[in-house]
Amino acid sequence: MSNEISGKALVVRRYSEAVKLQCVSDIERGRLTVKEAMEWYDIPWRRTIDRWREKYGKDKKKTKIVRILMKSEQERIRELEKLVADLQIENRIKTAQIQLWEEEKGEKALKKRLNTQQLKEYEERKKLLESL
């Protein structure tokens, strides 16, 4: 098969599956080197044989398809909204607990039982409640 391109003949070579398999087999069994196989089978490019070896050889690469799926933005938003709702409920419960403790024991007793971080959070919540 040849094509005419700008006055020069372009030769397109097509090799049968049998030739490809035999060539790869000869190389893998040590009957021929790649260079000898190129001459024997009239193959002008080493890359041609390399591709055949990848496809037909005993060490051919096996393709494993791995699908990596990312959560859609909408799904991620739903998760975050649920987390915010859970945290708001937790905040309301803690606020109610603090108010009950204040009513029973008084604010000074409550402040004595809290560590520095808890005291800071208590003061912030108290300011927030007062502003509402």
In a domain? residue 7: no
Which amino acid makes up residue 69? L
In tens, the pLDDT along 48-62 reads 999 999 888 887 666
DSSP 59-118: TPPPP---------HHHHHHHHHHHHHHHHHHHHHHHHHHHHHHHHH-HHHHHHHS-HHH
For residues 84 and 46, membership in a common domain is answered with no
Instruction: Return the pLDDT at 62.
Output: 61
For residues 26 and 45, membership in a common domain is answered with yes
Query: Residue 42 belongs to what domain range?
Result: 15-68
For residues 89 and 124, membership in a common domain is answered with yes
In tens, the pLDDT along 35-91 reads 999 999 999 999 999 999 988 888 766 666 776 666 787 788 888 999 999 999 988
In angstroms, the first-to-last Cα distance of the chain is 86
Among 28, 43, 68, identify where a domain stops. Answer: 68
For residues 80 and 104, membership in a common domain is answered with yes
Instruction: Return the pLDDT at 77.
Output: 81
For residues 24 and 43, membership in a common domain is answered with yes
Averaged pLDDT for residues 9-19: 87
The token pair at 59 is 């060490």
**Total of domains in the chain:** 2
Distance CA 46, CA 101 (A): 84
- Among left, alpha and beta (phi > 0; psi -120 to 50; other), residue 6 is left
For residues 95 and 119, membership in a common domain is answered with yes
Residue 2 vs residues 5, 10, 12, 47: alpha-carbon distances, Å: 9, 5, 6, 21
For residues 37 and 59, membership in a common domain is answered with yes
In a domain? residue 8: no
In a domain? residue 5: no
For residues 61 and 92, membership in a common domain is answered with no
1 band by pLDDT with thresholds 50, 70 and 90: very low
Radius of gyration of the chain (CA): 38
Query: Model pTM greater than 0.95?
Result: no
